[in-house]
Each structure stands twice: as C-alpha cells, then as structure tokens.
A = this chain, B = another copy of it.
Amino acid sequence: MLRLGVDVGGTFIKAGVVDENCAILHKVSVPTGGDGGYPAVVENIAHAAELAARVAGKTVADFEGVGIGIPGLLDPKSGVVVLAPNLGGWRDVAFLEAIQKLLPVPVRVGNDANCAVVGETLAGAAKGCENVVMLTLGTGVGGGIIADGKLFVGGRGLGAELGHMVLQMEGETCGCGRKGCIEAYCSVTALVKQTRAAMEKDPHSAMHAFAKEAGLVDGRTAFECAKKGDRAALAVVETYTRYLANAVGSLVVAFRPDVVLIGGGLSNQGAYLMDKLNALLPQYVFASDILGVPPILRATLGNDAGTIGAAFLDRV
C-alpha cells in the first residue's frame, strides 16, 4: 500500500508518494509560508500531502498514512513541537493534533534529521543496518540514530541533538548560544568561518580567486582549492576533517553503530572527504585496535531521505 511522506523545510514543504519498497513515485513541493504564522503552515502541510496524492491520481484517504518531518524539537508521541525556529518560531504547539484534524488517515511526526536516518536505513546507504549514526552537515549539524533497529530519540523524544553535544569544552560559540558544540566546529557555517579566517591570513591562497568567481565563500571553497593543492586550503580541510572525525569518534563510543553516515551539502565531497575521515577515525575511538571502527559513508538519498523516512516513521 502507498504512503505519503512530507518533509517540512524552512522554505519549501516537499511531499512524496512512497511505495512499499521505499521508492518515491511522485513528488511535489509547495512554499512553507512561515510568514503566515503557525495555522498557515499547518494548512500548507496538509495541502502538500493532498497535492502529492492528487498527482498520483488519488486522495489522501487512499493512503495507509502520512508521515511528517519537522525541522525542530518535538515529542513524536504527543506530537507537540516544542521549538521550530525555522518555521516562524513555533513554540509548544500541538502540531499532531492540529494536522490530524485536516487529514483523514493516521499521521505520524518526527524530527527532520531523524526522518533522514530512517530513510537512509530503510533504503539508502545504511540499508539493512541495525545500528546507525547519521550527521547532516548544513547550516547546523543534525543528528539521527538507529539503535537496535529502532529510531533512538531520547527522553520525551527530545534527545539525539548530536550537533549540540560537546566537542571542545568552553570552545567556539555555537549558534545555540553555548560554547564548544559539535555544530560550532563541523557545520558548513563553521567551515565557512574557518575558510574565511584562513583566507584573511593568506592573501595569496587560491581560495580568493575561487571565491571571487563563485561569488561567495561557501562549503566548497576550501575543499575545491585543497584538491588543487592550495596549501592554506589543505590546512583548512585537514583541521576540519579532524574536528569531524573526533566528533564522529565520540558518537561511535556512545552508540557503536555498524555504519556512520554523512549527509547534507558537504557530503557531495564524496570519497575525498570520506577517505580522510575513515583514515582519521581509529585514533578517536576508544579501543579501536580491538573493536575496530565502523565505516563512514556518504548518505545516498540526498533530499529524498527525509520524505522516505517520514513515510515510514512507524516502521522503526
């Protein structure tokens, strides 16, 4: 039977019709409309689900259920979204109750990074794995965990905020206002900051020309110039990959996953990034000489992971 998966982002709501094999048969995208306030976004989410159903020649009632991924802190059981800054500042809203009134089939909700790890575990790079840690590197660092075949969300569904675990006590200030979070070192935002600092120190680095041509400094600047042998860019990449390998190592010690997945825009660096991370990982994992370390792999479903995972939230 078919399912509907909805991935709610700050700008767009993506909805997809997903079959039992986790293949997306149809997908649609509508503006999130966060400016219109909470009720407007809830209506837009229902609308996206209806639209995806219609594209498949059906109505929502024809589906087994609807799963929805939300970029925020939420309790998947009660469906209360405690905080969702990217959706116009939702705070303590009974989202599941509200959206369920607009949709005629059972609705399930989850955090977007959690939906992504579910998607990758059912149909992507971690297919068949019982224990998975996934980091999504973007503006922030999202985290998702599959433990013993189940989605691990912590107490009240509010744990697994891996990006806000500590990497450097009293270190760099994080977007969350605290210091030393993994996100403050391993997000694309942090990488851009590290890249800018290196560029300021080295006016002869090839990164200046690269950024000028691209029109901005972004997550690719240091990586692309490092590949061409630019010394300052190489140093940025070496430092950044050490940060990330250390963060992954700490998560391996806690969760001992079969595989670690890297998602988000930076994962497009593919083997260049993964090879470096895999080489560094053993030195950051307790008893790695005896227990080994899991492989760090690039997530393969890209933006579809969240939609597929949302559709199958009841399966993990």
A256 surroundings in chain B (CB, below 8 A): 154-156, 158-159
Contact of A166 among B152, B164, B246, B257 (CB under 8 A): B246
Establish whether residues B166 and A255, one from each chain, have CB atoms under 8 Å apart when the complex forms: no
The stretch among A44-52, A98-106, A201-209, A284-292 that forms the contact with chain B is: A284-292
Contact of A158 among B73, B154, B162, B291 (CB under 8 A): B291
Chain B residue nearest to A180 (CB atoms) is B246
Establish whether residues B158 and A131, one from each chain, have CB atoms under 8 Å apart when the complex forms: no
Q: How far is the CA of A247 from the CA of B165 in the complex (A)?
A: 9
Q: How far is the CA of A159 from the CA of B159 in the complex (A)?
A: 17
Establish whether residues B284 and A254, one from each chain, have CB atoms under 8 Å apart when the complex forms: no
**Residue interface bits A77-95, CB-to-B below 8 A is 1, else 0:** 0000011000000010000
A227 within 8 A of B: no
Establish whether residues A283 and B147, one from each chain, have CB atoms under 8 Å apart when the complex forms: no
Establish whether residues A258 and B166, one from each chain, have CB atoms under 8 Å apart when the complex forms: no
**Identical copies in the complex:** 2
A152 surroundings in chain B (CB, below 8 A): 147, 152
Establish whether residues A250 and B165, one from each chain, have CB atoms under 8 Å apart when the complex forms: yes
Q: How far is the CA of A152 from the CA of B255 in the complex (A)?
A: 9
**Residue interface bits A242-266, CB-to-B below 8 A is 1, else 0:** 1100110110011111100000000
Establish whether residues B165 and A253, one from each chain, have CB atoms under 8 Å apart when the complex forms: yes
Known: A160-B254, A169-B167, A246-B166. A290 touches B83 (CB 8 A): yes
Establish whether residues B254 and A166, one from each chain, have CB atoms under 8 Å apart when the complex forms: no
Contact of A178 among B73, B148, B154, B284 (CB under 8 A): B284
Establish whether residues B159 and A255, one from each chain, have CB atoms under 8 Å apart when the complex forms: yes
Category for how many chain A residues contact B: 35 or more
Contact of A254 among B148, B161, B168, B180 (CB under 8 A): B161
A171 surroundings in chain B (CB, below 8 A): 169
Known: A158-B291, A291-B73. A286 touches B164 (CB 8 A): yes
Establish whether residues A255 and B154, one from each chain, have CB atoms under 8 Å apart when the complex forms: yes
| 25 A–B contacts from the bound complex (CB under 8 Å) | A73-B287, A82-B290, A147-B155, A152-B152, A154-B254, A156-B256, A158-B291, A159-B254, A159-B255, A160-B254, A161-B253, A162-B254, A164-B253, A165-B250, A165-B253, A166-B249, A166-B250, A167-B169, A170-B246, A176-B286, A176-B287, A178-B283, A178-B284, A180-B246, A254-B254
Closest 6 CB pairs between A and B? A131-B155, A164-B286, A155-B256, A159-B256, A154-B256, A166-B250
Residues of A within 8 A of B (CB): 73, 82-83, 91, 130-131, 147-148, 152, 154-156, 158-162, 164-171, 176, 178, 180-181, 185, 242-243, 246-247, 249-250, 253-258, 283-287, 290-291
Seed contacts A155-B257, A161-B287; 11 additional CB < 8 Å A-B pairs = A82-B291, A131-B155, A154-B255, A155-B255, A159-B254, A162-B253, A165-B254, A166-B167, A166-B284, A176-B287, A178-B284
